[in-house]
Amino acid sequence: MPKRNDLEQKALHFVVNTGHEGVLQSELWRELGASSREGSRVAIKLEEKGLIRREKELQGGRWTYRLFPKRMPPSIESIADCPCLLCQDNARCDPTTAISPKNCAKLTEWILSLDKEDSDASGGDVFAQSLDPR
């Protein structure tokens, strides 16, 4: 049987790769080659560390948990529209010079549009929701 820390790493990697769909806890322990007891302990440990969330779900007449990653790894799509990538002043842009991200209107507009998209998608204030411990 692999060490628990190894199982935790493998479990977290597997859960993150399932994305927003999540994975049933029973599928996780089967994938890891662990017992249901060990799989449950690993899932609880990851939840306690704040890396995943567990939601109770009725599956095949039995209660189980669906596991979801709390954070997704960043993707290139997250910055694909950043104005800095195609900016003609990119080579001269520096926080210590006159051409700076600190006073760039295009960058500020893009960041605010991201915040608006997140707020619209989640139906509320993203900052306030990030403070919610659930």
**Predicted confidence band of residue 4 (pLDDT cuts 50, 70, 90):** low
How much is the pTM? 0.57
Domain 4-69 listed as CATH 1.10.150.170: no
The ranges assigned to domains in the chain are: 4-69, 78-123
Q: Are the beta carbons of 42 and 51 closer than 8 angstroms?
A: no
pLDDT tens digits, one per residue of 13-58: 999 998 889 999 999 989 889 888 988 999 999 999 999 999 999 9
CA distance 132 to 7: 29
